[in-house]
Amino acid sequence: MSRKQQLLKRHRRNKRVGLLIGLLLLVVIGVWVAWWLPFVLGVLAWVAHEAWFADHLFYAPDEDYRYRFATDAEVAGIRLEGGRLLTDQRLAADATLVLAVKIKSSWLGRFFDPVVAISGGESPDRQAFERGVNGMRYLNLSGLAPALMAGELRLRGRFCDVQGPPRLWAWNQPDYLAQRVMVIAPHADDAELAAFGLYSQARAPWIVTITAGEIEAEHYRDMGMDPVEASRLKGRLRAWDSIAVPRWAGVPQAQCVQLGYFCLQLSAMRATPDQAVASREADLKDIRLFRQFNPFPMPADRDGLPTWNNLLADLRQLLLTARPEVIVLPHPVLDPHPDHICAQQAVIEALAGLEWQPATILGYANHLHDNDRWPMGDTSTGIALPPQFDDTLELSPFSLPLSLAQQRDKAMALGMMHDLQPPAPFKRRLRRWLQRALAGRVPSPYGDNEFFRKAVRRHELFWRL
Tens digits of per-residue pLDDT, 170-225? 999 999 999 999 999 999 999 999 999 999 999 999 999 999 999 999 999 999 99
- Helix, strand and coil content of the chain, in percent to the nearest 5, comes to 40, 20, 40
H/E element, 221: helix 218-221
Domain-terminating residue out of 151, 171, 191: 171
Is the bond leading into 246 cis (omega within 30 degrees of zero)? no
Task: Note the pLDDT tens digit of each residue in 381-433.
Answer: 999 999 999 899 999 999 999 999 999 999 999 999 999 999 999 999 999 99
Q: What is the predicted pLDDT for the residue at 326?
A: 98
Residue 100 sits in a domain whose CATH number is 2.60.120
Say whether both 192 and 137 belong to one domain. Answer: no
SS3 280: coil
Q: Does the pLDDT of residue 1 top 80, yes or no?
A: no
* Domain presence at residue 63: no
Q: How many domains does the chain have?
A: 3
Q: Tell me: do 154 and 26 sit in the same domain.
A: no
User: Do both 165 and 182 map to the same domain?
Assistant: no
Q: What is the pLDDT of residue 144?
A: 95
Q: Are residues 157 and 183 located together in one domain of the fold?
A: no
Q: Are residues 215 and 234 in the same domain?
A: yes
Q: Are 151 and 119 in contact (CB under 8 A)?
A: no
Other CB atoms within a 10 A radius of the CB of residue 107 amount to 8
β-strand 459-464 against 360-364: which pairing, if any?
A: antiparallel
Tell me if 370 sits within 8 A of 387, measured CB to CB.
yes
CA 114 from centroid of its chain's CA atoms: 20
CATH of the domain at 428: 3.40.50.10320
Q: What does the pLDDT read at residue 279?
A: 98
Co-location of 19 and 127 in the same domain: no
In a domain, 241, yes or no: yes
Show the domain range for 154.
Answer: 71-171
> Are 185 and 191 spatial neighbours (Cβ–Cβ below 8 Å)?
yes
299 and 257 part of one domain: yes
Verify that 363 and 451 share a domain, yes or no: yes
Query: Count of CB atoms within 10 A of residue 398's CB?
Result: 19
Which DSSP symbol is given to 301? G
Q: What pTM does this model have?
A: 0.92
**Main-chain dihedrals φ then ψ at residue 422, nearest 5 degrees:** -60, 145
Q: Is 57 domain-assigned?
A: no
Query: How far is 26 from 36, CA to CA, in rounded Å?
Result: 10
Of 4-8, 125-129, 199-203, 342-346, the poorest mean pLDDT is in 4-8
The pLDDT value recorded for residue 123 is 82
Consecutive H or E run containing 269: helix 266-271
Q: Is the pLDDT of residue 3 over 80?
A: no
Q: Quick check: helix, strand or coil at residue 153?
A: coil
**How far, in Å, CA of 429 to CA of 449, rounded?**
10
pLDDT band, very low/low/confident/very high, at 13 (cuts 50, 70, 90): confident
